[in-house]
Amino acid sequence: MNPPGDFVLYQRDDCHLCDLALRVLADARMPEFASCWIDGDAELEARYGLRVPVLRDCRGNRELGWPFDVAAVQALLAEAGQS
């Protein structure tokens, strides 16, 4: 089940890569998004486990797995009509 909103960042607690991803999203001027921690959720652990952080466009059913950069986030936003 996805949290509400168009975009979700799946992440873990105390995750250095997740911190880097948040910086990339800020630099890309990412609009509001939901954060979803996968720790302790068996379904999300199975789906995203070692791939976090993952940015998901829930409307377009697209995902960006780490590593991603500002250009990749902006391209995802453009595809979603939010550029």
- Full domain range(s) for residue 51: 7-79
Contacts of residue 56, defined as CB under 8 A and 6 or more positions apart, other chains included, come to 2, 7, 8, 9, 10, 62, 63, 64
Number of domains in the chain: 1
**Residue 66 falls inside a structural domain:** yes
User: Measured between alpha carbons, how far is 18 from 69 in angstroms, rounded to an integer?
Assistant: 13
The reported pLDDT for the residue numbered 18 is 97
What's the pTM value of the predicted model, to 2 decimals? Answer: 0.90
**Residue 2 falls inside a structural domain:** no
Looking up tokens 């995203």, which residue turns up? 48
Task: For residue range 1-53, list pLDDT tens digits in order.
Answer: 444 569 999 999 999 999 999 999 999 999 999 999 999 999 999 999 889 99
